[in-house]
A and B are shown apart, each in its own frame.
Chain A
Amino acid sequence: DAKTTQPPSMDCAEGRAANLPCNHSTISGNEYVYWYRQIHSQGPQYIIHGLKNNETNEMASLIITEDRKSSTLILPHATLRDTAVYYCIVRVANNAGNMLTFGGGTRLMVKP
């Protein structure tokens, strides 16, 4: 699975959009981009995934560049409860299961 690079930490003001970048310059054509987050003392939580098109769900939007070498997770109106570590993961979509390779993630601090 391709390696990802994320900033170790970011701050965001409550109510503003949080834009979390991820670099995956070695991504292959059959690899998806996934985002999970982990709130303190809880297990990771799935947020969103995509292949090459931008995706949106009730939690977030995922913007993938045309060359697929980077992506941005957008939380449109961050709240204090969005304070968490956000993990960007790249992996092949096959039937081999959810054996996810987590990196260090980005620690997002949402401030009032």
Chain B
Amino acid sequence: DTGVSQNPRHKITKRGQNVTFRCDPISEHNRLYWYRQTLGQGPEFLTYFQNEAQLEKSRLLSDRFSAERPKGSFSTLEIQRTEQGDSAMYLCASSLDGPATTEAFFGQGTRLTVV
């Protein structure tokens, strides 16, 4: 297994367009997380799945954001009507079930630029 895979690595879009990112977690990991990171800041938690169930959503996840994990494997994060403030690195992570001491493995992220 090559780790957490995210596609695309880079995305440039015009303001108002919709974008969708994909995350493929490590195959046996049933937990999947999305984070957002703006320049010079640490990552911020957005949402978390256990299998196909979305269990937590941050208040950062506005109505324009939606995440799915339909079969408990890969996940997609869609942003509708993008705004310039959505420009950031979107990171996906996965982990095994268990206590929070289980380490999270991060992908390399998708860098979104809204022009």
Using a CB–CB cutoff of 8 Å, the interface residues on chain A facing chain B are: 32, 41-46, 49, 85, 87, 91-105
Contact = CB atoms under 8 A, between A and B. Distances in A.
B104 interface: yes
A46 B93 CA distance: 11
A93 B101 contact: yes
Given A98-B93, A99-B33, A102-B42, A44 B106 contact: yes
Contact of A102 (B43, B50, B97, B109): B43
Given A100-B43, A104-B42, A93 B93 contact: no
B38 to A, nearest CB: 12
Interface in B17-56: 31, 33, 35, 41-45, 48, 50, 55-56
Contacts of A87: 42
**Majority SS of interface residues in chain A?**
loop
Interface string B40-84: 011111001010000110000000000000000000000000000
B51 to A, nearest CB: 12
Given A32-B100, A32-B101, A42-B108, A101 B41 contact: no
Contact of A98 (B41, B42, B102, B109): B102
Interface residues of B, number: 29
Given A42-B109, A97-B100, 17 more contacts: A43-B4, A43-B91, A43-B109, A44-B43, A46-B104, A49-B101, A91-B100, A94-B99, A94-B100, A97-B48, A98-B48, A98-B95, A98-B102, A100-B35, A100-B45, A103-B42, A105-B42
A98 B95 CA distance: 8
Q: Which of A32, A43, A85, A102 has the most CB of B within 10 A?
A: A43
Contact of A45 (B50, B100, B106): B106
Contact of A95 (B35, B43, B99): B99
A102 B91 CA distance: 13
Contacts of B31: 97-98
Nearest to A96: B100
Contacts of A102: 42-44
